């Protein structure tokens, strides 16, 4: 969703620059496949013989639509998620377990329930916008929705694992100008804080006002919607 904006700006500044955008859900072999530069999301940069240039943090966010919260109530703790429809993103390593860091720094593993299971991040976002359930997704996909009030951030005191954006390219003695201008454009767009994370600076009062009044002060699930907690579905500390 963000790369086309960078390409638009680059094309205006360098009209002779030809760009081919390839979107893949796998690690490509840059040298074998003739890729000049890749954008990857990972934790620490691996020692792979490639250059990893850190661009910006990639934050994960738990969120849902105001319509969903109005119907099902507002979760106050990770244990409350057992009573909610949490949409699993099957492309992830553990699609039905969300790994969170609590306010005390402790690690929590939260099994989730819910339907549907979806393998596309864009479709997961759309499902949340349609009011189907709670999601955990990258902020670059949902940050603007949260800022606009289309989605509401949930459990902000429990943080999913933060990763980073990297520009990755083969190590060369002399960096090609086309790679340099692309990486510089990405840094200008994303550093030091990505614009889609502007919702993090919203005052708490604004965030609460965007949650339906019937649920903002109510931590319970409305009768008829909640499912009873099962012993195996409670958040587990590690």
Q: Where are the domains of the chain?
A: 3-57+163-194, 60-161+198-237
Q: Which of 160, 135, 131 has the alpha carbon at shortest distance from 225?
A: 131
Judge whether residue 205 has pLDDT over 60.
Answer: no
Task: Establish whether the linkage from the previous residue to 16 is cis, with ω within 30° of 0.
Answer: no
Contact 143, 57 (CB under 8 A): no
* The pLDDT of residue 233 is above 70: no
According to DSSP, residue 140 is labeled H
Q: How confident is the model at residue 211 (pLDDT cuts 50, 70, 90)?
A: low
Residue 234 near residue 82 (C-beta atoms within 8 A): yes
* 131 pLDDT above the threshold of 90: yes
Q: pLDDT tier at 227 (50, 70, 90 boundaries)? A: very low
Cα–Cα distance for residue pair 183/55, rounded to 1 Å: 8
pLDDT for 168 equals 92
Q: Quick: pLDDT tens for 87-109.
A: 989 887 887 889 989 988 889 89
pLDDT digits (tens, 9 = 90+) for 182-191: 899 889 888 7
Q: Could you tell me the fold of the domain covering 60-161+198-237?
A: D-Maltodextrin-Binding Protein; domain 2 (3.40.190)
Q: Quick one: pLDDT band at residue 127, thresholds 50, 70, 90? A: very high
Bigger pLDDT: 144 vs 227:
144
Per-residue pLDDT band at 218 (split at 50, 70, 90): very low
Among 127-131, 153-157, 198-202, the least confident range:
198-202
Lowest mean pLDDT among 3-7, 109-113, 180-184, 234-238: 234-238
* CATH code given to domain 3-57+163-194: 3.40.190.10
pLDDT for the residue 231: 42
* 29-38, 50-59, 208-217: segment of lowest average pLDDT: 208-217
Question: Are 75 and 59 contacting, i.e. CB atoms less than 8 angstroms apart?
Answer: no
Alpha carbons within 13 A on the beta-carbon side of 84: 35
| pLDDT recorded at residue 61 | 93
Fold match flag (3-57+163-194 vs 60-161+198-237):
yes
């Amino acid at each position: 969703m963000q790369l086309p904006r960078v390409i638009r700006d680059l094309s205006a500044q360098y009209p002779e620059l030809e760009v081919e955008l390839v979107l893949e859900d796998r690690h490509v072999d840059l040298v074998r496949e003739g890729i000049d530069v890749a954008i990857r999301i990972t934790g620490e940069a691996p020692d792979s013989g490639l250059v990893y240039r850190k661009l910006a943090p990639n934050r994960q966010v738990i969120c849902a639509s105001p319509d969903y919260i109005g119907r099902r109530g507002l979760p106050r703790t990770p244990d409350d998620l057992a009573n909610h429809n949490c949409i699993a993103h099957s492309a992830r390593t553990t699609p039905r377990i969300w790994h969170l860091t609590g306010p005390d720094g402790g690690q929590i593993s939260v099994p989730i329930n819910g339907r549907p299971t979806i393998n596309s991040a864009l479709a997961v976002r759309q499902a949340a916008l349609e009011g189907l359930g709670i999601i955990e997704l990258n902020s670059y996909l949902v940050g603007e929705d949260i800022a606009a009030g289309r989605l509401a951030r949930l459990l902000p005191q429990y943080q999913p694992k933060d990763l980073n954006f990297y520009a990755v390219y083969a190590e060369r003695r002399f960096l090609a100008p086309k790679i340099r201008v692309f990486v510089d454009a990405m840094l200008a767009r994303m550093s030091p804080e990505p614009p889609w994370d502007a919702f993090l600076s919203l005052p708490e009062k604004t965030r609460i006002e965007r949650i339906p009044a019937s649920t903002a002060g109510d931590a319970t699930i409305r009768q008829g919607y909640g499912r009873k907690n099962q012993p195996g579905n409670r958040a587990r500390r590690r």
